[in-house]
Amino acid sequence: MNKSVQFRDLGLLDYQLAWDEQERLFAEVVATKLANRNQPAALKQPTPNYLLFCQHPPVYTMGKSGKLEHLLFDQSGLDALGASFYRIHRGGDITFHGPGQLVGYPIFDLENFFTDIHRYMRLLEEAVIRTCADLGLDAGRIPGLTGVWLGYREGDANPRKICAMGVRASRWVTMHGFALNVNTDLRYFDHIVPCGIADKAVTSMARELGMAPDFSVVARRMQHHLGELFEAKFSNREAVSSL
């Protein structure tokens, strides 16, 4: 079991380029796993794990279970906003990515950690919950809804999502991941039904705190909590950029 994770900060990167890089790394991990099948134990190569952090120019992405009617305008509306749109093969519905949002893409071979997708999702959520707590925000889960929320307790009048999640896994290798609203322009969410949930709001750390937190601090705390929860050791650590 290889719990070493190669961390890379991709900065502000076009969504297609980031997706291509995910696919490249995903294919590398899967190819290593397949090659190991035909090797004696002494010759098997450890499968690598990667964690990519980035921000994207404005883009809407829709998962394989998404409904097109949850995008509330057409191509001309996208053009007017300067945003792009992609249908992708993660789980979940539609969401927005943009500057000021910490997007994380773990490409993990879960056989290096545990073979449980439900546990994997809960640990991603837990890392976000702990990161929010570091900034003084009380975040948590709403039963039956993936992601991380404020106002999440039963009876709270205004539940609002601060982090969306959607993943794909094949042969126990993951890709896609989470999108934590740090200082995101929330007006972009007005043009979609976020995650297909019409009766709940979207928020950001900046809105909740009344000020924009240091993006690099949020990113470092998120990386720390992911490492702690997955008992991972990061290598090739690079400075996290901020906008």
Distance of alpha carbon 9 from alpha carbon 55, whole angstroms: 9
Distance of alpha carbon 28 from alpha carbon 84, whole angstroms: 28
Query: Is 50 strand, coil or helix?
Result: strand
Cβ-based neighbour number of residue 196 at 10 Å? 17
How far lies 11's CA from each of 55, 84, 138, 146, in Å?
6, 18, 28, 26
Alpha helices in the chain (DSSP H): 15-37, 75-81, 117-134, 205-209, 215-230
Burial of 195 from C-beta contacts in 10 A (0-12 / 13-18 / 19+): buried
Q: Annotated catalytic residue: which of 54, 132, 163, 195?
A: 195
195 noted as active-site residue: yes
Strand partners, 60: 85, 96
Q: Which residues are known catalytic residues?
A: 195
